[in-house]
Every structure is written in structure tokens, then in C-alpha cells.
Amino acid sequence: MKKIIFDLDDTLYIDNGLRKEREKIILDFLGDKKCDYLKLKLKNNTLNSLINLGFQKKDFFKLMNRVSINLNKNERLIKILGVLRQSYRLIVLSNSSRDCVEKSLEKLGILNLIDEFYTGEDFEHPKPDRRCFFMVKKGDIAVGNNFKKDLEIPKKLGAKTILIGGKDFRADIIIKEIYELGKILSKN
């Protein structure tokens, strides 16, 4: 059975309040290293920026686990994933901690629809490290909001790529929001 591999944050849900709260906790934690972090973030993801500053992944996960996840059950998303699950295995691949991923999926009401999920704790290096995408096979579908981090490696591995909310034309398909996914996949 073909798979759909989803990024989590800003892909299966968008919550600017949660994003701001996570960033605030990181900046407060960094103290006088804030400016260095913000410069690194221009070219790196959050976790790699922190690692470049000498912090460990476990420090990042501890910080993220302090943030309350106040997501709401998403009936629209539940319906779409329920239909897609009839034809695909659904996988989530996130750089977040296992605790954050599981809580987010549970709050959204989709934990029982996801066949597998992998987190930043499952890999030595975060996405876009090629080893994070071990489950991707030719013909699978990768869905994410960041081409470089979520889609570039899957595309090289033969997956169809769907970019959400971006403008990177290297992706096979670009959509505004996750709710367009069912319609797009029914046409292909």
C-alpha cells in the first residue's frame, strides 16, 4: 500500500499562537545567545540552529515539552484523513519530540488515523537528513510546508511532493491548505 508522509507543524495544522509560544520559550532560554540564534535561523531550522550554538537535542525537547498544546479537535481534518486512510498508509514525520507529536495528534483527534509517526527523538539528525526519510518509496506522497526540509529528499526518492502554503515550484503540487488534499488526490 502506498504511503502519505506528512510533516506535522504548519502542515496538518497551523497555530500561530503555539508557534509564538515555542519561540518565546527558546528565546528566553537562550538569553544573550538570542541574536546568534536568530542569525542561524535564517539558514537553518530551529533544532539545527540550537545545535550549532552548542545545545543538545534533549535541551530542545525539554523546552518544547514545557509548552501547552491547546489544539482543538479538527473534524474537517479527521474526515479527510479518514477517507485517505482507505487507500494509503498515513505517516507523520516531525522534528518535534515524541511527547509533542503524540499530544498534537491526540488533540487534533487524528492519532487513531495515523499508522505510524516518527519524531526528532527517533533520529540522530533532524530533517532534512536523508535517514529520516527511510520509509519513503517511489510512488509515495510527501506533504509538507517546507520544500527543503520536508519534500526535497522524498522527491529525489521518487515520491510525489505536495507543498502546503508555499511558493516553491520544485514541488509537484502546491496547495494553500491541507483541506485541499482530498480533492487533489482524487484527481490523480
B/e letters for 91-122, b = 16+ CB within 10 Å, e = fewer, are bbbbbbbbebbbbbbebbbbeebbeebbbbee
Query: Is the domain of 44 the same as that of 109?
Result: no
Q: What is the per-residue pLDDT for 9?
A: 94
Query: Is the domain of 45 the same as that of 136?
Result: no
- The answer for residues whose C-beta is within 8 angstroms of residue 79's C-beta and 6 or more apart is none
Statement: the pTM of the whole predicted model exceeds 0.85: yes
Q: What is the per-residue pLDDT for 187?
A: 64
Query: Is the domain of 80 the same as that of 43?
Result: no
Please state, in angstroms and rounded to a whole number, the distance separating the CA atoms of residues 145 and 6. 9
Query: Is the domain of 53 the same as that of 105?
Result: no
Alpha helices (H) in 111-162, listed in sequence order: 152-156
> Coil, strand, or helix at residue 30?
helix
Which range marks the domain in which residue 45 is found?
16-65
Query: Is the domain of 88 the same as that of 181?
Result: yes
Q: What is the per-residue pLDDT for 188?
A: 59
Q: How many CB atoms lie within 10 A of CB 82?
A: 14
Q: Please give the tally of structural domains in the chain.
A: 2
Cis peptide before 128 (omega within 30 of 0): yes
Q: What is the per-residue pLDDT for 79?
A: 96
* Closest C-alpha to 47, from 131, 133, 143, 128: 128
Give the end of a domain, one of 28, 44, 65. Answer: 65
Q: What is the per-residue pLDDT for 154?
A: 98
Per-residue CA distances from 77 to 71, 88, 89, 178, 181 (Å): 13, 15, 16, 8, 10
Query: Is the domain of 28 the same as that of 55?
Result: yes
Residue 118 contacts residue 91 (beta carbons within 8 Å): yes
Query: Is the domain of 176 the same as that of 96?
Result: yes
Query: Is the domain of 107 the same as that of 32?
Result: no
Query: Is the domain of 161 the same as that of 147?
Result: yes
Query: Is the domain of 7 the same as that of 31?
Result: no
Give the end of a domain, one of 30, 47, 65. Answer: 65
Query: Is the domain of 78 the same as that of 45?
Result: no
Q: Count of H helices and E strands in the chain?
A: 8, 6
Q: What is the CATH number of the domain that holds 160?
A: 3.40.50.1000
Residues of the chain where predicted confidence (pLDDT) is lower than 70: 187-188
Query: Is the domain of 87 the same as that of 41?
Result: no
